[in-house]
Amino acid sequence: MSDKAGPALTVTDGSRFAVFLQANGVDWKWYNQQAARSAQLDRYVRVNPQYPRSTEDVRKKLEGEFGRASVVEWTKTPFIQIPGDAKLKGNDLYESGAIYGMDIASGFAIDVLDVRPGEKVLDLCCAPGGKLCMLADLMQRKGELVGLDASKHRAFTCASVCKKYRTASRHFKNKTDNDWDFTIIVEDGVTFSNSQQAKEIIWDTQADEVLHQKESGIETFEKRDPEAKPKQKKLNKGLKRKLEEKRLEKKKRRKADVDNLFDRVVVDAECTHDGSLKHMAKYATGGVFGQEALESKFLNADNAKYSTESNDLEQLQQGLLENGFRLLRPGGVLIYSTCSFCKTQNEDVVSWLLKKYGDQVQLDDLSRQTVGKTQAPFVNSTSLAGTLRFEPCASGTSGLFIAKLSKRS
């Protein structure tokens, strides 16, 4: 529990948001309980595997700065729990790239995917970038990793995170793998096909290689001044020509890949974000949702569900999940997740795919899933066996739904 509670939000009976929750089977009083607990939650950081010091060294250093820090036992990837009011900006470890700020429930979802070096992996909705960095670390910069987002703004946000951690670099733990191929592109996740040329590449291994061609690639983890503006390296005509040549080579290699399918796919789908309670609290006024902020941010008529008659968002989620499954190689594994508490955006979407594809798809049972030393504090779904949820009160985390699917050979 955080040493100092943050701002809490409250949903009032009869409000538009209460109507939205009730239309989606979420009791608004239960939601208020989750919101109150969320304001007290700790935060988590993930340890960069390239950092030369041990996880225990990192823990001790964080403890010295924030008063307490503990290594999480229920993730495979090292996460450290610190007070919720801990400020990472200005912290030596954070500014040097030794740790990542990341939601631990999302980290568990990536652990469950069980990605391996040398595989082809797709992150279908990659912003803001934490999952993409974790995938690259687990792959040890071996194989192919594609991140895409339909929003150019979000894709650039993702790229800025990946640039900080040199995720596109071929270097990992002072070793170089020339087979590493990393790309962030702007693309509609519902229609994306890996066999087609990307509409707009935001950042990739080729760009990283051209811009940093004279560097050793060895990460020194020196503290970076958080107030200082980063040095912007630009492509001159010669470097742009070299980049075009490298991307042309990449395009030829992709054409030679017969099926253009992926071994692992992450579909962290667009949703109403009602489970991201700390994020939603930023749009609260005096503990109660400001009507204008609520409607513009979370109940936008173009992408959200007001009632059982409106299903635009569910169609988008179905499209993302179906395309992710279509791009999955037989024998491959897919994770579907959202940060919503709504059954219509979670279990119902997964059930739709199971019904449509029948024997081609298998729902893997996560009810007893253990990836760390202990079992994670998740809640098993009561409406679709084998899927799970993280909730503030039960899990001590933000809200997240997770389903694991496999494509039968």
Kindly compute the dihedral angle of the four CA atoms of residues 82, 86, 89, 93, in this order, to the nearest 10 degrees: -30
Count CB-CB contacts under 10 A for residue 358. Answer: 8
Residue 393, annotated as binding a ligand: no
342 included as an active-site residue: no
CB environment 374-404: b (16+ within 10 A), e (fewer): eebebeebeebebbbbbbbeebbbbbbbbbb
Contacts of 273 (CB under 8 A, 6+ apart): 279, 280, 298, 339, 340
From residue 372, how far is each of 60, 71, 72, 111, 312 by CA, in Å? 21, 11, 9, 9, 38
| Residue 294 near residue 328 (C-beta atoms within 8 A) | no
Catalytic option among 133, 158, 162, 339 = 339
Question: Is 125 marked as binding a ligand?
Answer: yes
Got the DSSP string for 238-305?
HHHHHHHHHHHHHHHHHHHSSS--EEEEEEE-----TT-HHHHHTTEETTEE-HHHHHHHTS-TTT--
The reply to whether 301 sits in an annotated binding site is: no
**By CB neighbour count within 10 A (0-12 exposed, 13-18 middle, 19+ buried), where does 363 fall?**
middle
Residue 127 assigned as binding residue: yes
**134-137: which pairs have CB atoms within 8 A and are 24 or more residues apart?**
134/46, 134/77, 134/100, 134/102, 134/107, 134/110, 135/110, 135/266, 136/162, 136/167, 136/182, 137/48, 137/49, 137/50, 137/77
365 is in an annotated binding site: no
Question: Binding site annotation covers 275?
Answer: no
Of 108, 195, 42, nearest in space to 388 by CA: 108
Question: Counting every residue, how long is the chain?
Answer: 409
- The annotation status of 348 as a binding-site residue, yes or no, is no
What DSSP character marks residue 345? G
188 among annotated binding-site residues: yes
Query: If you search the block for the tokens 């390239």, which residue do you land on?
Result: 50
Cis peptide before 117 (omega within 30 of 0): no
Give CA torsion, residues 249, 255, 257, 259, to 10 deg: 150
Count the neighbouring beta carbons within 10 Å of the beta carbon of residue 19.
15
Binding site per annotation, positions: 125-131, 149, 188, 268
Catalytic site positions: 339
Binding residues for S-adenosyl-L-methionine: 125-131, 149, 188, 268
